[in-house]
Structure 1
Amino acid sequence: MTPVAVRDLRPTQITVGMREVALKRQMLRSQSARKTGTFLGTHMVPVVLGPKKRNYVTDHHHLARALLEEGIGDVLVTVMSDLSDLDKDAFFFVLDNRAWMHPFDENGKRRGYNAIPKTMAGLVDDPYRSMAGELRRQGGFAKDTTPFSEFLWADFLRRRIDRDAVAKNFDKAMKEALNLAKAKDADYLPGWCGPTSD
């Protein structure tokens, strides 16, 4: 466990759901500084040390972005692996092969490693990632340990719900998402909890 400046954290993905970030910010603002400190003590940000000993975040990107936007200076990290001896290309190749990165843009298209922002402030909004987070909270699927499982759900929704419909009426789009989540078409996704015949 090491305190690291939030502004120095490096993402390992291109997008976040900004509605998710807003919820984290709201939670941080609604509690006392003491409670926030306790919360952050139990929600350490997992990182992999990369070239130049930089901290590359492998989870909790939404929290890190919220902390940055709320002006919270430091966060505790837990180092999952020290790959700082690798050159940049080898480092990203290892991250990719260990499922420690998600180089997909807001349209669900895989991009080159250089498309990943250098700071949390550079993360781009993917409204379908926000839908996936809300879908999980509403019981559409169960929390799962599969890396980037909510991005898999986001991609599923992206292929079935029009982006304009999401932008115009998020709540209505969520009703459609809940129905889609229970369908047989979604049974391959991590945490699926639709009806079964047994």
Structure 2
Amino acid sequence: MPAQQHMEQAALADLRPTQMTVGAAEVAVKRAQWAQLKPKARDKLLQSHWFPAVRGPRGRFFIVDHHHLGQALTQEQVANVWVMQLADFSDVEPDMFWRLMEFHHWAHPYDEKGRRHEFASIPRRLSQLKDDPYRSLAGEVRKAGGYAKDAAPFAEFLWADFFRPHFDKAALRSAGGQGLPESAVVSAVALARSPRARFLPGWSGVEAPVAPGA
């Protein structure tokens, strides 16, 4: 393990996000899963799902993954979680800190409409992350096998931006207020497997056949 990496407990409320949105439907699923766990299972989950983070200005931890789980646990009033420190940039000036975070692909300053903002616009608390239903759609499509999980940072946000012009926001609201309509997920899976998505990470569709003489 590199010298900068180590595990420690931290207050969940003190963890700083490195993105602006989450998929509220995905957060709701994680809350439902948490509600079904008994105390021992909850402890086991917290010990195995540590939050990768970078120590930044004023010694704060900036998490680079598990934002959905973090918001779910925040709403469930969990106090402490385990953090894996990936790097220590606490001695770096704030502007350079964010330059380093961008260089390492550890920050994603895009809002719920896919628009880029200054890094200063990233919320300071997990509870302040806004809902992007297209991010929820991207997550559901991946779970349904529409595309493969990819190691590229923020790959699901790229898929969310791909779906954005193809689905009306109102069509992503379920009658019960939670989850996504199955019809929208089915349509998005078909789109994800089509040649139109072949440039995206994790694409697992089939190229359209080339006509003879083309």
| Superposition TM-score tier, normalisation by shorter sequence | over 0.9
Q: Percent identity?
A: 43
Residue 165, structure 1, aligned to residue 168, structure 2: no
- Residue-by-residue CA offset, 1:68-90 (whole Å, 9 max, x unaligned): 10011000000011000111111
Q: 1:154 deviation in Å?
A: 0.5
CA distance in 2, matches of 1:142, 1:43: 21
Residue 12, structure 1, aligned to residue 18, structure 2: yes
Q: 1:197 deviation in Å?
A: 7.3
1:59 maps to: 65
CA distance in 2, matches of 1:53, 1:170: 42
Among candidates 27, 35, 39, match of residue 29 of structure 1:
35
Equivalences for 1:75-94 in 2 at 5 Å?
A: 75-94=81-100
Among candidates 175, 184, 188, match of residue 177 of structure 1:
188
CA distance in 2, matches of 1:138, 1:68: 27
Among candidates 25, 47, 56, match of residue 50 of structure 1:
56
CA distance in 2, matches of 1:52, 1:34: 34
CA distance in 1, matches of 2:46, 2:93: 31
CA distance in 1, matches of 2:37, 2:207: 41
Q: Which has the higher helix share?
A: 1
Letter in 2 for 1:113: F
- Indicate how the Cα distance of structure 1 residues 22 and 81 shifts in structure 2: closer, same or farther if over 3 A, else same: same
Aligned residues: 198
CA distance in 2, matches of 1:166, 1:18: 12
| TM-score in terms of structure 2 length | 0.89
CA distance in 2, matches of 1:11, 1:112: 14
1:188 maps to: 199
Q: 1:159 deviation in Å?
A: 2.2
- Residue-by-residue CA offset, 1:9-43 (whole Å, 9 max, x unaligned): 00000000010111111111111111111122111
- CA RMSD between the two structures: 1.4
CA distance in 2, matches of 1:191, 1:44: 25
- Residue-by-residue CA offset, 1:161-190 (whole Å, 9 max, x unaligned): 121222367322212101100100111111
Q: 1:66 deviation in Å?
A: 0.6
Structure 1 unaligned spans of 5+? none
Structure 2 unaligned spans of 5+? 1-6, 175-179, 210-214
CA distance in 2, matches of 1:165, 1:25: 23
2:77 maps to: 71
CA distance in 2, matches of 1:40, 1:143: 23
